[in-house]
Amino acid sequence: MSVTELPKVEIKSLENIKFDEYNVKIDESETDKRIKEIAKNQPNFKEVSTDTKAKKGDLVSLDYKATVDGKDFNGSEGKNTQLTLGKDLFLKGFDDQLIGVKKDDEKIVEATLPENFPEKELVNKKAKFNCKILSVKQSEEVKIDDNFAKNLGAKDLKDLKTLISKQINDEYKNSLDQLSKNQILKEIEKIKVDEVPENLIEEEVKILSQGMSEEEAKKNKKDFVDKAKTRIKTGLILNEFGEKNQVKVTEQEVQAEVQKQLRMMPGQEKMVMDFYQKNPSALASLRGTVYEEKILSLIKEKGKANKKEISKVEAEKILKEAHKHDNNHAEEKKETKKKSSTTSAKEKKPATKKAKSKPAAKKIKKVSKK
Name the CATH code of domain 45-139 (choices 3.90.1150.10, 3.10.50.40, 3.40.50.720, 1.20.1600.10): 3.10.50.40
Please write the tens of the pLDDT for every residue from 111-170: 999 998 888 999 999 999 999 999 999 988 888 999 999 989 999 999 999 999 999 888
pLDDT for position 357:
34
Q: Are strands 18-25 and 304-311 parallel, antiparallel or unpaired?
A: parallel
* Region of residue 246 (left: phi > 0; alpha: psi -120 to 50; beta: else): left
> At residue 41, does pLDDT exceed 60?
yes
> How buried is 328 (Cβ within 10 angstroms: 0-12 exposed, 13-18 middle, 19+ buried)?
exposed
Q: Fold match between 12-26+170-346 and 45-139?
A: no
Q: Where are the domains of the chain?
A: 12-26+170-346, 45-139
Note the pLDDT of residue 78: 93
| Fold assignment, 12-26+170-346 | Trigger factor, domain 2 (1.10.3120)
Residues 187-197 pLDDT 10s:
888 888 777 77
Average pLDDT of the chain to the nearest whole number: 84
Query: Taking 50 as the threshold, does the pLDDT of residue 184 lie above it?
Result: yes
pLDDT tens digits along 240-283? 899 999 999 999 999 999 998 888 888 888 898 999 888 888 88
The pTM of the full predicted model, rounded to 2 decimals, is 0.55
The residue length of the chain stands at 370
Give the integer Cα–Cα distance in Å for 240 and 281. 22
Distances, alpha carbon 291 to alpha carbons 11, 48, 286, 302, 369, in Å: 17, 61, 9, 17, 7
176: left (phi over 0), alpha (psi -120 to 50) or beta: alpha
53 pLDDT more than 50:
yes
CA 141 to chain centroid, in Å, comes to: 32
CA 306 to CA 175: how far, in whole Å?
Answer: 17
Predicted pLDDT of residue 229: 87
101/135 Cα distance (integer angstroms): 10
Whether the per-residue pLDDT at 348 is higher than 70: the answer is no
Cα(368)–Cα(234) distance, integer angstroms: 8
